[in-house]
Amino acid sequence: MRSIISAGAGAEAKPVLSKKEKMKLRRARWLQKIDAIKAAEETRKAEARRKATAVVGDLHPLMEALPELSELVTAGQSRRKVKRCVHGAPRQKAEPTDFSRMTPAQKRKLLDDEMVRFQEVVASPSYQADPLRAIGEHLSKRLRQEEGRRL
């Protein structure tokens, strides 16, 4: 037996949905919850990644301005001269410029050199005073050097 209040008030306010439609609505709400949880997790991870990096601003223009590592390695190798041995021993092979073709020892040496260079830059007083200005000066000096070599 139903009461008069529940039978009269609820019937006109709610539309009558079939069981299939109710299941679809429930599934849609469930998928929305999952998407919301995933989005929240992604934003949390992205924020944690940003917090882990040093605050220096947007580095994307700087990355575009800097030459590729392979270009730096080839430029450095072209300056080095391979010494010929007087005794007729074979010459040393040139180091590969592609990181994927390097041996583990070559990769380790390259990364060690880069780490030392990076630590020197971070320790320099001009970088500590104004990092962006120091990097900009370095880039302009490097561009002038490269233009001088091309001429």
| Domain boundaries defined on the chain | 17-52, 60-86+97-150
Give the mean pLDDT of 71-91: 59
CB 73: neighbour CB atoms within 10 A? 19
Give the confidence band of 42 by pLDDT, cuts at 50, 70, 90: very high
CB 79 within 8 A of CB 72: no
Give the mean pLDDT of 59-67: 66
pLDDT number for residue 58: 59
0.75 exceeded by the pTM? no
Give the percent of the chain with pLDDT over 90: 28
Per-residue model confidence as pLDDT tens digits over 93-109: 766 777 788 888 988 99
pLDDT number for residue 27: 98
Q: CB under 8 Å to 139, separation ≥6 — which residues?
A: 62, 65, 66
CA atoms within 13 A on the CB side of 33: 6
Bigger pLDDT: 110 or 66?
110
